[in-house]
Amino acid sequence: MAFLPLPPEYTEIMEPNFREIAQKWQQKWREQGLYKTEVDPSKPKYYVLDMFPYPSGAGLHVGHPLGYIASDIVSRFKRLKGFNVLHPMGFDAFGLPAEQYAIQTGRHPADTTAENIARYKEQLNNIGFCYDWDREVNTSDPGYYRWTQWIFLQLFNCWFNNNTQKAEPIAELEFRFASGGSTGINGACGEHEPFTAADWAEMDEAARRHILMQYRLAYLDYATVNWCEALGTVLANDEVKDGLSERGGHPVEKRKMRQWFLRITAYAERLLSDLESLDWTDSMKEMQRNWIGKSEGASVMFYLSPGERFIEVFTTRPDTLFGVDFLTLAPEHELVAEITTDEQKAAVEAYVNVARNRSERERMSEVKRISGEFTGAYAIHPFTGKPIPVWVGDYVLAGYGTGAVMAVPAGDQRDWDFARHFGIPMTEIHEGIDISEAADPTKEAKLKNSGFLNGLTGHEAIRRAVQEIEAKGIGKGKVNYRLRDAGFSRQRYWGEPFPIEYRNGVAYALDESALPLELPVMDDFKPTGQPESPLAKATHWLETPSGRRETDTMPGYAGSSWYFLRYMDANNTQRFVGKEAEAYWQDVDVYIGGTEHAVGHLLYARFWQKFLFDRGEVTKNEPFRKLINQGMILGRSNFVYRISGENKYISADLLEQNPDVKIIPLHVDVNIVKNDVLDTEAFRRWRPENASAEFVLNADGQYVCGVEIEKMSKSKYNVVNPDDIIAEYGADTLRLYEMFLGPLEQSKPWNTNGIEGVYRFFKKVWNLFYNEQGGLKLSDEPATEDELRILHKTIRKVEEDVERFSFNTSVSTFMICVNELHDLKCHKRSVLQDFLIILSPYAPHIAEELWQASGGQGSVVNARFPEWKEEFIRESKVTYPVAFNGKTRYQIQVPAEMPQAEVQALALGHEEASKWLNGGQPKKVIVVPGRMVNIVL
């Protein structure tokens, strides 16, 4: 039987199925191992990194891939440009949520984490990212955390030499102690008494180890934890709300516990000064600067009685030394109890007790309330000899500086407020400044009543004051940092165990050959009821022939502080990263992620990199050369309005006309709302109680929903799963649409209102290749001048846009290009294939499909990015807008090469010129070559 051709009106129109196309190519690429990356010295390297996700049970929503899509585009673009691109992905898999889920359900965190990772990978793969999955890292995998433990051991076995500004082996320090004692050693360390070589020789093992612990970059010290008796567990700071546990609302108390710390403060100066060299946003650098909080000033001793006890203060304003009217101690200051006079004892004790019991949060929320108490004691002013009253006040923080301040009401507003409140007399020290209403914190005014500083401005006086203070031996110039050493212990199960064991209470490092020290398999991670880690219950693991293991685990940021190095050589079993691989990949060229890690992860990772650099383990001093912060995708919540007391819902646009109707706004699932119009049938099906819902519809017969922009969360029913978008429109539409939403760095609400436009764009691309019957309509005729100009302008623009991470504008460039090719009815193979190459980083699946269909060589993923040529872009004619006094009036078209004078003549010779000249002569004519003409009257 022969097939008769169908009459044209019955011919089926070929609609491309973008979803199937994506699936097809994802599978083929996987089979071909297209994204496998190897060290290749013949090519320049390029390392594109995403902040790896924590695999939560909720899966990805459309906000997560925003940065991943951008980094994928950069990766593919650089690859087309001939770079050897490293673009890995992995999972930050240790952490609290998995452990809490485990406690609730009894399922082991390792199992739930594995499931979540599988889900994440599937979702990521659906979007078509070009990750080399052979390099996947999982921080909870012993093959990975073995090296996290190894780095910890290096930190434990090193100290920071302030003289060389480098980390050095602790063994060398031991040697120097043995030969010369502690004199001449300038290390970042805790406090200890000075000792001689002879003292050192006398010390026993424990005493020596105690001294060394003061120097180690990973060290033990005491710190307070949030202990909740009712829950029988230690809580993280974010599990405590207003002094009560978030779960259950039980009281939380502070307890001192011995814990691990990392001596990040040793690196404060380097972390600060090296920010200069980084290509990060100013706000990001500023956040790190503020966090490090360097302030320069002086420490000054105020003696309570000559030559005896003194109070040490830190000040950034030594120039105001003669304006000191009182000292204020933090309530926790160790001298408070000692110096308080008998008459003041009761009042001060009461005050200190109140202050101590108030949580930090309370103290912060009552910032404006002034409180304090006089101790009855006086200190002696080091230069004037005047008695200075000593107060306690909770506006002074025990944890910053020395926990004591010299109060200068004339120069500091808080001191001024305090003095005014308690009626303490104020000394004027600034010429021509009235301090009856406020302090003068500037350093502009000349000083008076200030002894040797008189006549100098504050700026000039600082150096002089420090000189005098040092000459008198009552203090010295000092740099203070706000940065604190990082607490590195968690009383949790689901984290890296420490490669440490205790003998007689002294910590000893495990030998490297004992790594990894695996987390014991346990089925009960419930709290122990004691302030210690659940690991204490792993009795078979806890005690070893040589000692007792550390039961704390490392915090979440341990694994994420070096994962970018592991990707370079993820399967190396001999080293944390192979020397050769590290020397080739070196550092991250572009790192894309959110701003929420500004002072956490990004600071720790820089610290670890610098430490490893000092030890000669890595090549670079900084890990992330360029940092791009993608904005957050917010949820766009929809609301329905139930009339109070009824199962009836009123359309949002009718609310204004019915102000009397009592309504209850309720979140409604955004997935049953399109363009803010509710699918009422779907709403009835959404929940059983809605089955009988009635609606008050608007004039168009629609139910319009209310809108609010909020964070995406399950409880607000505004979560959109990328899988759903992909199912409807395909992966490429999702990718392009997310980029089209706006600048990458900007936060914006997710809504699908414009997604149709992107979808239409792809259909238009398709129609350049295929006719309605599904036949290719490509031609091999040479491209015309117009076609080449459009193509090459597009190539140039897209290239520039990717280089400056302006993805939204390149999407519109693609659209313009396709619209113009469409208008020209361009079906030239040569033009369209080049177009596909530049489109492919954004829409790899459709590009590949059309590339193959049009006879492209190999995969479009491996093509070469076309070079734009000036000669094709150059226009032979230029349109000049002609403006009079800055207002554009008409246009003239002239040959591109025309000299300025001729352009001017032509502009003035235009038929409309006389109308605007109004018979007068122009005062001045400005011709900007190739741009515009402005005639000044």
In angstroms, the CA 127 to CA 26 distance is 9
| 753 touches RNA (CB under 7 A) | yes
| 189 touches RNA (CB under 7 A) | no
Other Cβ atoms within 10 Å of 662 Cβ, number: 9
| 887 touches RNA (CB under 7 A) | yes
| 451 dihedral zone (left: phi>0; alpha: psi -120 to 50; beta) | left
Chain-centroid distance of CA 437 in Å reads: 42
Give me 844's structure tokens.
């790899």
- Within 13 Å of residue 399, how many CA atoms lie on the same side as its CB? 7
- Within 13 Å of residue 257, how many CA atoms lie on the same side as its CB? 22
* Given 401, 556, 706, 841, the residue binding RNA (CB under 7 A): 401
Q: Which is nearer to RNA, 616 or 701 (CB)?
A: 701
Q: Which is nearer to RNA, 415 or 849 (CB)?
A: 415
Per-residue binding letters, 828-867, with RNA (x by CB under 7 A): ----------------------------------------
Q: Tokens 């809605």 appear where?
A: 690
Residue 197 CB, shortest distance to RNA, in Å, is 37
Touching RNA, residues 888-917 (CB under 7 A): 888-889, 891
Residue 595 CB, shortest distance to RNA, in Å, is 6
Question: With CB under 7 A as the contact rule, which of the stretches 145-153, 315-323, 339-347, 718-726 interacts with RNA?
Answer: 315-323
| 224 touches RNA (CB under 7 A) | no
In angstroms, the CA 925 to CA 293 distance is 55
Residue 189 CB, shortest distance to RNA, in Å, is 21
* Given 100, 125, 316, 384, the residue binding RNA (CB under 7 A): 316
| 760 touches RNA (CB under 7 A) | yes
E-assigned strand segments in 731-871: 748-749
Question: With CB under 7 A as the contact rule, which of the stretches 157-165, 216-224, 648-656, 924-932 interacts with RNA?
Answer: 924-932
Residue 295 CB, shortest distance to RNA, in Å, is 4
Residue 281 CB, shortest distance to RNA, in Å, is 7
Per-residue binding letters, 406-435, with RNA (x by CB under 7 A): x-----x-x---------------------
In angstroms, the CA 581 to CA 568 distance is 6
In angstroms, the CA 790 to CA 821 distance is 8
Amino acid at 927: V
Q: Omega of the bond prior to 41 within 30 degrees of 0, cis? A: no
In angstroms, the CA 552 to CA 496 distance is 9
Other Cβ atoms within 10 Å of 214 Cβ, number: 18
| 319 touches RNA (CB under 7 A) | no
Residue 931 CB, shortest distance to RNA, in Å, is 4
Other Cβ atoms within 10 Å of 887 Cβ, number: 9
Touching RNA, residues 355-374 (CB under 7 A): 363-364, 366-367, 369-371
Other Cβ atoms within 10 Å of 899 Cβ, number: 11
| 926 touches RNA (CB under 7 A) | yes
In angstroms, the CA 328 to CA 351 distance is 14
Touching RNA, residues 276-295 (CB under 7 A): 281-283, 286-287, 290-291, 293, 295
Q: Which is nearer to RNA, 158 or 300 (CB)?
A: 300
Binding residue count for RNA, defined by CB under 7 A: 83
Residue 55 CB, shortest distance to RNA, in Å, is 23
Q: Which is nearer to RNA, 634 or 778 (CB)?
A: 634
Touching RNA, residues 453-512 (CB under 7 A): 480, 482
Other Cβ atoms within 10 Å of 394 Cβ, number: 23
Touching RNA, residues 769-828 (CB under 7 A): 797, 800, 806, 808-809, 811-812, 815-816, 819
Helix (H), strand (E), coil (C) string for 867-910: CCCHHHHCCCEEEEEEEECCEEEEEEEEECCCCHHHHHHHHHCC
Amino acid at 624: F
Question: With CB under 7 A as the contact rule, which of the stretches 22-30, 135-143, 405-413, 564-572 interacts with RNA?
Answer: 405-413
Residue 196 CB, shortest distance to RNA, in Å, is 35
Q: Which is nearer to RNA, 213 or 330 (CB)?
A: 330
In angstroms, the CA 645 to CA 298 distance is 69
| 297 touches RNA (CB under 7 A) | yes
| 317 touches RNA (CB under 7 A) | yes
Q: Which is nearer to RNA, 305 or 753 (CB)?
A: 753
| 595 touches RNA (CB under 7 A) | yes
Q: Exposure pattern of 603-612 as b/e (b: 16+ CB <10 Å)?
A: bbbbbbbbbb
Q: At what angle do helices 844-853 and 829-839 cross, to 10 degrees?
A: 160
* Given 122, 756, 786, 875, the residue binding RNA (CB under 7 A): 756
| 885 touches RNA (CB under 7 A) | yes
Question: With CB under 7 A as the contact rule, which of the stretches 338-346, 527-535, 647-655, 734-742 interacts with RNA?
Answer: 734-742
Q: Which is nearer to RNA, 283 or 857 (CB)?
A: 283
Q: Which is nearer to RNA, 100 or 752 (CB)?
A: 752
| 62 touches RNA (CB under 7 A) | no
How does DSSP classify residue 680? H
Contact 801, 809 (CB under 8 A): yes
Q: Which is nearer to RNA, 476 or 931 (CB)?
A: 931
| 698 touches RNA (CB under 7 A) | no
Q: Helix, strand, or coil here: 72?
A: helix
Q: Which is nearer to RNA, 94 or 416 (CB)?
A: 416
In angstroms, the CA 65 to CA 51 distance is 11
Question: With CB under 7 A as the contact rule, which of the stretches 205-213, 432-440, 640-648, 880-888 interacts with RNA?
Answer: 880-888
Query: Measured between alpha carbons, how far is residue 651 from residues 267, 641, 659, 680 in Å?
Result: 60, 7, 13, 11
Task: Give me the count of residues in the chain.
Answer: 937
Q: Which is nearer to RNA, 294 or 579 (CB)?
A: 294
Per-residue binding letters, 545-584, with RNA (x by CB under 7 A): ----------------------------------------
Phi, psi of 779 (to 5 degrees): -125, 155
**Burial (CB count within 10 angstroms: exposed 0-12, middle 13-18, buried 19+), residue 126:** buried
Touching RNA, residues 707-726 (CB under 7 A): none
| 447 touches RNA (CB under 7 A) | no
| 330 touches RNA (CB under 7 A) | yes
Helix (H), strand (E), coil (C) string for 259-313: EEEECHHHHHHHHHHHHHHCECCHHHHHHHHHHHCCEEEEEEEEECCCCCCEEEE
| 113 touches RNA (CB under 7 A) | no
